[in-house]
Amino acid sequence: MNRLSSVIYILFCRQLTGRWPGQQEPLEMKDLPGFLVEASGRHVHLTQQAIDVLFGENLHEKSPLSQPGQYASEERVRLVTAKDEIDNVVVLGPPRGAVQVEMSLTDARILGITIPVNLSGDLKGAADVILVGPKGIYNAVGSVIASKAHIHMTPEDARLYGVEDGDSVAVRLETERPVTIDDVIIRVSEKFSLAMHMDYDEANACSYKKGDMGYIIKKN
């Protein structure tokens, strides 16, 4: 093959496959194992002080969550703003160091508030809401966020996927209406169990159902 023919061949391969001859094909999503995807509805994390004000007694565990040590309690609160309210919002336990209310952007529009999309624990720019319980009212200033999509994993899982805590990845969701979610954040801890969490807006967009799987397709 002469030089001109070689150049034509190389350019043809590039146009046909998107890669130069000899270039390794990118990893397909099935090359790495999938993981459970869970949709998180609106919920509240409370401090012990807030629990005492709202309920007058400790939380009562109803059912365990996928993350070790975390649970949905029997207790419920009402979220109230100047515009509207949402009733029967589950309280998750155990108690935390700060009050945090997580909801979808759709919920926020119902309540007439503007909320940031943050990782859990990051309350920068968080909105205010009033919590109403059977025993009292708690003014949760700077507490409301939409939780950014993230994947919980152990250090062993992180080594398998070639990622580190805080990394951003793109995840393909194998659902009835498959979609790819970009900028999903990796969270690594020995205390975690492998699972991706997204909110109900994201879940509804892809027709999510319990048991659907996700696949990391690239590291951003």
Check pLDDT > 60 for residue 23. no
Does 99 share its domain with 77? yes
| Residue, of 4 and 124, whose pLDDT is higher | 124
Whether residue 19 lies inside any domain: the answer is no
Q: Work out the angle at residue 87's Cα, subtended by the Cα atoms of residues 122 and 138, and round it to the nearest 5 degrees.
A: 55
Closest CA to 168 of 194, 192, 150, 154: 150
- CA dist 25 and 3 (Å) reads 25
Assigned token pair, 140:
């949760």
Q: Which domain holds residue 48?
A: 41-146
Does 112 share its domain with 183? no
Whether residue 12 lies inside any domain: the answer is no
Whether residue 6 lies inside any domain: the answer is no
Q: How far is CA 34 from the centre of its chain?
A: 16
- CA dist 18 and 187 (Å) reads 32
Whether residue 7 lies inside any domain: the answer is no
Whether residue 13 lies inside any domain: the answer is no
Measured CA to CA in angstroms, residue 61 lies from 16, 93, 180 at distances of 57, 8, 35
Domain CATH for 174:
2.40.40.20
pLDDT in tens, 158-217: 999 999 999 999 999 999 999 999 999 999 999 999 999 999 999 999 999 999 999 999
Does 132 share its domain with 79? yes
- CA dist 35 and 173 (Å) reads 10
Check pLDDT > 70 for residue 27. no
Does 32 share its domain with 82? no
- What's the domain count of the chain? 2
Whether residue 190 lies inside any domain: the answer is yes
Does 58 share its domain with 102? yes
Does 136 share its domain with 211? no
Does 71 share its domain with 115? yes
Does 56 share its domain with 111? yes
pLDDT of residue 75: 99
Check pLDDT > 60 for residue 17. no
Of the chain, the percentage scoring pLDDT greater than 90 comes to 84
pLDDT of residue 26: 45
Does 140 share its domain with 183? no
SS3 label, residue 41: coil
Region 78-82: what's the mean pLDDT? 99
